Chain A
């Protein structure tokens, strides 16, 4: 994987940076203007997660969000799926180290990813680094689009981006 370093593909417009680190890993990072304990809180309290995980402009609705944030505890996010159905994203927490580290599994499919979040506080600001690591590149191909609740199709994402562009 190290050999690929020079060919890493990165996108860093705006304040969020996304980088495909390897065949199996996508890394997303952003700095928040708050201490780590606050950013950590926003990731670990369902009533807070619900407010930001699905941006309004996405046109999807987060119906429920349950999080039992402790090692071995589970989480479950249920979205409105099309007009009739729902879809759920679920898994369990592997590591919980407030306010600096969270690791969880994504168990929607057999070959799912492990999400690792680190919160690094410096001078009152927090650098959040989120890594999505898949067991194989095949799994990455199959899952990278789906992992964040956007499994429908990239068309939907395109619509969102058009909306966002118009808002600018």
Chain B
């Protein structure tokens, strides 16, 4: 399960590593669009845009639907959210661990102060 999720996160990261694909996501955030519209918008060939959309689709960031001869693209944000959730879990674990470390550090600080006073005496 964990393996599977990581593999999917990885696809998301790879998909996001390209400026055009990020632009496409931004665009789709405003409104759904056909591949032709996206190709025009980004001054790209239809084939080029199909490839980008394919990468985004594999990563689950975009879903497409073909109606007649037009393929419409829209955002599929679920996996990005999962990825954020995975990072958040890590953060919470380390937060809990570091809260304990805080206590240890406080105690060492107090001890150092006391020892310092003893030494001066």
Contact = CB atoms under 8 A, between A and B. Distances in A.
Interface stretch (A11-19, A68-76, A84-92, A94-102): A11-19
Nearest to B21: A7
Nearest to B100: A52
Contacts of A63: none
Contacts of B41: none
A102 to B, nearest CB: 14
Given A4-B17, A6-B22, A38-B112, A52 B103 contact: yes
Contact of B90 (A28, A33, A53): A28
Contacts of A19: 87
B104 A52 contact: yes
A49 B105 CA distance: 11
B6 A144 contact: yes
A153 B110 CA distance: 38
A39 B17 contact: no
Contacts of A18: 87-88, 90-91, 94
B105 A16 contact: no
B96 A13 contact: no
Contact of A11 (B7, B10, B13, B84): B84
A131 to B, nearest CB: 13
Contact of B109 (A12, A34, A55): A34
Contact of A23 (B10, B88, B101): B10
Contact of B95 (A10, A16, A42): A16
Contact of B93 (A10, A33, A52, A160): A160
A23 B12 CA distance: 11
B41 to A, nearest CB: 19
Contacts of A142: 3, 6
Contacts of B83: 9
Given A7-B13, A9-B83, A154 B2 contact: yes
A7 B87 contact: no
Contacts of B7: 141
21 contacts: A3-B17, A11-B84, A14-B92, A14-B95, A15-B95, A18-B88, A23-B14, A26-B90, A30-B95, A33-B105, A38-B108, A39-B101, A39-B105, A51-B100, A51-B103, A55-B99, A141-B7, A141-B10, A144-B6, A148-B94, A160-B93
Give me the 6 closest cross-chain CB pairs, A-B, nearest first: A141-B6, A52-B100, A7-B16, A18-B91, A16-B95, A11-B91
